[in-house]
Structure 1
Amino acid sequence: MASRLIEKSSHEAENPLEITLREAFCFLEPKLRPPFPLTIPTQEEYLNLNRAILYGILCEHQLARVHTKHLHGIITDGYEYFTSMLVKIVNELYGKLVDSVKRQLIWVTHEMVNVSAVRFDGLLVALLRQIVGGDFGEENLWLCFEMVNLFSSKWDCLLEEEPLVLTGALYVFLRLLADHCRVLNIPKIESLKQMEIDFCIRMLREKFSLCLRIGRDLVRLLQDLAHVPEFCAIWKDLLYNPSAFRVDGFVDISQIYGTRTSRWYFLLRLTPEMESHLRFLMTHVKLGSQKRYQVWFTKKFLAVPERNAVLIDIVRFICCAHHPSNDIIHSDIIPRWAVIGWLLRSNMRNYIEANLKLALFYDWLFFDEKVDNIMNIEPALLLMVHSVPKYSDITHTLLEFLFILLDNYDLERKEIVRRGISTAFHTLVRKSVVQSLDILTSCDMLSPILRERLGKLLSDFQLRHCREVQRTNIPRDVVPSSFSSLESPTSS
């Protein structure tokens, strides 16, 4: 029987998931038409009926409302199994679904939100992940439009039932806007862009306390949109008028800097297929044998120049969401820093390269060992160290960019950035990620100015650290009585 669910070539084997759904539909088809049976199904019959109804909704769009009423009448598990099958279809089959089925998929997703189906948030996340960054194709833009429309139209329901998924949508649409705002005078993108802006601004203005859940990467995404008038106003308030957001206790943007972003957000910008291939590369492929995998990955996901924007998301994923086990770290599997080095040598536009480097170093700027994970900052240092001497240009470029950030990133809070970068270097050495930084401070192939600046940064940190230790070790009996009631600087 020809597939009505997915598109496949004649030489492809049939998909097991599609077979399961289709067989259930064919077996139960007589029972899927009114009047519906009144008997109570067994557990296995119930699951099979869910599969049959799902296939009917997706493939018989003219009868979708009938099938949905049938579904509402039989549900005993809060739609949990039905929703789980939808998630499975999105994760495993979305790219192969025929257009009419994709439209039905969005329609039934609206229905699941309407009835507050169990774990419908997982379905929304699965669909968000299918939006490909840097892809201006008609199908991808259609999915963008449908998803931002869904989040806007179901605002009240989502806010009450699953508010966290709204922060995921904000992260996704802010990231997509950075791509969409670089394309001008294309009517379809202009209308989509305005919908994305309206949703994001509503989130930031009305539910900023919720937005703060994203953490410091919220600032990273917003700074890429500072040229957009609506976001320019957000920026001004963040920097100079934080009370405009009406969040108790929020008084300065540095509070966002100090909040590490959960790895969940980074997964939102990679399709499941892209994630699985990257994880395979970094858990099974030996260093020296990776070239053919890299060539395949490039052809599959980076063939179109605009798609290179996803490199930024890949680097954040590698640094913050893929932390290999100790066994892999000490094996001959290709390390994370080598994968990032390969990506850094890709042919990309200047703004993408700058944002990729920022993605690599972002956690360095605000690193606090009490809050942050050393695995997030490890790849950048190892890439600089291992690029000497064969690829010293990479080491030079990265170190130079790090000092550009130190000199220019938020001048009013420069000391926060200086402390973060210094602490990152110190912690990486103390935790034996590298034995010392001599390979950088003594490398003749690096600019003398860079070596001198690095040496000064490290020595200043060491001196400041020693002073802090001395202050915290002052005996109580020599502390002036007027200060004896104050807490120690290290208490928290």
Structure 2
Amino acid sequence: MASKLTVRLAHEAESSLEITLREAFCCLEPQLKPPFPLIIPTQEQYSLLNKAILYGILCEPHLLKIHIKHLHGVITDGYGYFTSIIVIIVNEMYRKLVDSAKRQLIWIAREMVDVAAVGFNDLLVALLRQIVAGDSSEENLWLCYEMVTLFSSKWDCLLEEGSSVLTGALYVFLRLLSDDCRVSNAPNFESLMKMEKDFCVKMLREKFNLCLKIGRDLLRLLQDLVHVPEFRAIWKDLLYAPSVFGVGEFMDISKLYYTRTPKWYFLLRVNPQMESQLRFLLTHVKFGSQMRYQVWFAKKFLSAPEKNAVLIDIVRFICCVHHPSNDIIHSDIIPRWVVIGWLLKSNMENYVEANMKLALFYDWLFFNEKLDNIMNIEPALLLMVHSIPEYIDITNSLLEFLFLLLDNYDLERKEIVLRGLSTSLRTLLRKGVVESVEVLTRCDKLSPNLKERLAELLSGCSGIVDNSRIPTSQML
């Protein structure tokens, strides 16, 4: 039987979820047309009815109004079960759905926001995760357009519900803009980019109190957009006129420097399939046996040069989200630094490489042991140390970038960055991540200048870190 819901290759099996939904629909099809039965369903009947109605909405667009009216009439749990099924469909089946079903999903998402359905935040997050960085295909641009339209048109409703997903949307669209704005002579991007800019600027100018929840990675994304006039003005205000944002507690940009970004923001830019494969690689694959998995991953997710923009997000995911257990750390499973080193050797544009390195070192710049997780900064040092001597070019490149940051990142607050880098090294050494950094300071293949500067940085590691500039509210 040809599927009404998904497109599959001849050798691909039908998903169990699709079978379940279709069977529910076929079983209850006579009851899905008016007049609807006036009965109180059991829990099992209720679940079956939710699945049947959802399948009808996705596969029978011409009967949409009938199905949605039926749904509103039978709901007893605030749409919680109905929404949870949709989230699973988006996470597991979105790429294979027929176009009409994708359009229906967006329509359902709008409807769930309107009725303040239980779990509508999870649904919007699931859809945001399906937008692929660096993908200029018509399908991907359509999804991006639909989602930014949804967030713009449902602005008041989302604010009223106190939805944290607004800040998630800001994170996503800022990240997408940094790639989209580099596409030249692409008129099909202009309308979309304007909508993304308008949404992001509105969030930053009108709801900056919410934007603060993103933490320091908000600044990482914004500084990649300083060449865009709208965001250049915002960046200047962040540095020199923070009071214009109307948030009493925000008196200096350092407040954001010292606010770590919650993990779920990083997940927004890694789709579920990619996350699953990365976690498998870092949880089950033995060091030395990873080549065929890496080749498969690259073919699946990095086949086109423009898709390499997602490498930035993958590095941030590995550093800040995937923290292996002690058992895995002390096993023969492939370490995180190995995967990052492999990704750094990919063929990419210069701006992607620079942003990958920034993603790797970003938490070093503002690290405080009372606030931050050592697992976020561990991969960078291990990669530099273990790249000697076979991949000395990586060690040189990373150290050069680290000192470039020290010399150029926010010169007016240079002491913050110096303190962050010194604290990072001191903490990594004290916790035994590496026994010493003599492998770096005594390496003949490193430039004398780099070794000298590293020794200078290490000489300050024994001092007490001054936390006086860290807001008391952040000392958690």
TM bracket, shorter-chain basis? over 0.9
Residue identity in the other structure for 1:102:
K
| In structure 1, distance between residues paired with 2:286 and 2:10 | 35
The answer as to whether partners of 1:286 and 1:332 remain within 8 angstroms in 2 is yes
Q: Name the counterpart of 1:280.
A: 280
Post-superposition offset of 1:4: 0.2
| In structure 1, distance between residues paired with 2:42 and 2:263 | 40
| In structure 2, distance between residues paired with 1:249 and 1:382 | 37
Structure 1 or 2, whichever has the larger Rg, is 1
TM-score (structure 2 length as normaliser): 0.97
Q: Name the counterpart of 1:105.
A: 105
Runs of 4+ in 1 over 3 A off after TM superposition: none
Post-superposition offset of 1:390: 1.1
Post-superposition offset of 1:465: 3.2
Q: Name the counterpart of 2:306.
A: 306
Post-superposition offset of 1:186: 2.1
With 219-228 and 451-460 compared, the bigger mean Cα shift is at: 451-460
Q: For 2:331, what is the secondary structure of its paired residue? A: coil
Q: Name the counterpart of 1:465.
A: 464
Q: Name the counterpart of 1:369.
A: 369
Post-superposition offset of 1:437: 1.2
Post-superposition offset of 1:184: 2.7
| In structure 2, distance between residues paired with 1:120 and 1:198 | 23
Post-superposition offset of 1:42: 1.2
- In the TM superposition, 1:217-256 aligns within 5 A as 217-256=217-256
Does 1:340 pair with 2:340?
yes
Post-superposition offset of 1:275: 0.2
The answer as to whether partners of 2:121 and 2:163 remain within 8 angstroms in 1 is no
Post-superposition offset of 1:456: 1.0
- Work out the percentage of aligned pairs sharing the same amino acid: 73
The answer as to whether partners of 2:319 and 2:379 remain within 8 angstroms in 1 is yes
| In structure 2, distance between residues paired with 1:394 and 1:302 | 21
Q: Name the counterpart of 2:144.
A: 144
RMSD across aligned positions (CA): 1.3
Q: Name the counterpart of 2:260.
A: 260
Post-superposition offset of 1:162: 3.9
The answer as to whether partners of 2:129 and 2:271 remain within 8 angstroms in 1 is yes
User: 1:24-79 deviations in whole A, cap 9, x for unaligned?
Assistant: 11111111111111111111111111110000001100111110000000000000
Q: Name the counterpart of 1:65.
A: 65
Does 1:216 pair with 2:216?
yes
| In structure 2, distance between residues paired with 1:351 and 1:429 | 31
User: 1:103-138 deviations in whole A, cap 9, x for unaligned?
Assistant: 001001111111000010000000000000010000
The answer as to whether partners of 2:425 and 2:461 remain within 8 angstroms in 1 is no
Q: Name the counterpart of 2:177.
A: 177
Residue identity in the other structure for 2:60:
E
| In structure 1, distance between residues paired with 2:131 and 2:12 | 25
Post-superposition offset of 1:299: 0.5
Q: Name the counterpart of 2:471.
A: none
The answer as to whether partners of 1:184 and 1:190 remain within 8 angstroms in 2 is no
Q: Name the counterpart of 1:481.
A: none
Q: Name the counterpart of 1:46.
A: 46
Post-superposition offset of 1:433: 0.5
Q: Name the counterpart of 1:168.
A: 168
| In structure 1, distance between residues paired with 2:33 and 2:261 | 49
Post-superposition offset of 1:249: 1.6
The answer as to whether partners of 2:214 and 2:262 remain within 8 angstroms in 1 is yes
| In structure 2, distance between residues paired with 1:289 and 1:185 | 43
Post-superposition offset of 1:188: 2.0
- List alignment gaps of at least 5 residues for structure 1: 470-490
Q: For 1:225, what is the secondary structure of its paired residue? A: coil
Residue identity in the other structure for 2:121:
D
| In structure 2, distance between residues paired with 1:414 and 1:358 | 16
Does 1:400 pair with 2:406?
no
Post-superposition offset of 1:389: 1.1
Q: For 1:465, what is the secondary structure of its paired residue? A: coil
Q: For 1:163, what is the secondary structure of its paired residue? A: coil
TM-score (structure 1 length as normaliser): 0.94
| In structure 1, distance between residues paired with 2:11 and 2:443 | 56
Q: Name the counterpart of 2:470.
A: none
- List alignment gaps of at least 5 residues for structure 2: 468-474
The answer as to whether partners of 2:58 and 2:104 remain within 8 angstroms in 1 is yes
The answer as to whether partners of 1:121 and 1:162 remain within 8 angstroms in 2 is no
Q: For 2:464, what is the secondary structure of its paired residue? A: helix
| In structure 2, distance between residues paired with 1:350 and 1:441 | 28
User: 1:325-362 deviations in whole A, cap 9, x for unaligned?
Assistant: 00000000000000000000001011100000000000
Post-superposition offset of 1:458: 1.2
Residue identity in the other structure for 1:446:
L
| In structure 1, distance between residues paired with 2:47 and 2:453 | 65
Residue identity in the other structure for 1:370:
K
Residue identity in the other structure for 1:30:
P
- In the TM superposition, 1:291-440 aligns within 5 A as 291-440=291-440
User: 1:284-341 deviations in whole A, cap 9, x for unaligned?
Assistant: 0001000000000010000100000000000000000000000000000000000000
Post-superposition offset of 1:185: 3.0
| In structure 2, distance between residues paired with 1:279 and 1:181 | 31
* Count, aligned residues: 469
